[in-house]
Amino acid sequence: MNFACTEMASPVGELAIAVANGRLVALCFEGIWDRRVRSLERRFPGARFEAVRDPAGVRSRLTQYFEGDLDALAPIEVECWGTPFQRSVWAELQRIPVGETRTYSEVARAIGQPAAVRAVGTANGANPVAIVVPCHRVIGSNGTLTGFGGGLPNKKWLLDHEGAQLRVFPADPAERKRRAA
């Protein structure tokens, strides 16, 4: 398989992009790209990586997004290889509107697996196309920012950029449970 690749500077650091057959297959923060390449090489023996300025227009769309066009990422086609469970989580992440957040437990309920909260977190962390599949929009059950491969300051920047209002959840577990029902 051939991968068209590029890197770009962004407000959340250097990003690496890979596209195959016109679909985004990797969007990685600095320090993650080498691991993603090894994963792609294992999946596709003989994979070739070619430097391209703007593969499938993804770089341009990301630039538009960072400049304030929050809908610029919507047309990007993605191809995420993973387990059926992971793909269901990633599909649900794409349904979270710009400017909104969900908790891991809300995502678990939305995919029909309410007890799989930790597994949702693991799938979220394995997301191969950060930002476009918006794993940054998933927050902790108490409304705090948790776990993000690009770092929590970048998660906060992305949520602020999108105008997301972090929800504050009651400290009392019984009240949280009542509100979640």
Regarding whether 167 and 108 lie in a shared domain, the answer is yes
Regarding whether 165 and 106 lie in a shared domain, the answer is yes
Q: Which domain holds residue 170?
A: 84-180
Domains of the chain: total? 2
Q: Annotated catalytic, 135?
A: yes
pLDDT one-digit tens code per residue, 141-171: 888 888 888 889 999 999 999 999 876 655 5
- What is residue 47's DSSP assignment? -
Query: pTM here?
Result: 0.87
Regarding whether 100 and 33 lie in a shared domain, the answer is no
Regarding whether 43 and 10 lie in a shared domain, the answer is yes
Beta strands in 13-154 (DSSP E): 15-20, 23-29, 48-51, 102-103, 138-139
Sequence-distant (≥ 6) Cβ neighbours of residue 104 within 8 angstroms:
117, 118, 120, 121, 124, 138, 140, 141
In a domain, 129, yes or no: yes
Which CATH number is 174's domain given? 1.10.10.10
pLDDT one-digit tens code per residue, 88-132: 999 999 999 999 999 999 999 999 999 999 999 999 999 999 999
Name the 3-class secondary structure at 38: helix
d(CA 68, CA 114): 35
Regarding whether 88 and 173 lie in a shared domain, the answer is yes
**Residue 101 confidence (pLDDT):** 95
Regarding whether 91 and 12 lie in a shared domain, the answer is no
In a domain, 75, yes or no: no
Confidence of residue 18 (pLDDT cuts 50, 70, 90): very high
Exactly one of 5, 28, 80, 135 is catalytic; name it: 135
Regarding whether 100 and 34 lie in a shared domain, the answer is no
**Residue 178 confidence (pLDDT):** 57
Regarding whether 162 and 99 lie in a shared domain, the answer is yes
Regarding whether 110 and 26 lie in a shared domain, the answer is no
Query: What region does 117 belong to: left with phi over 0, alpha with psi -120 to 50, or beta?
Result: alpha
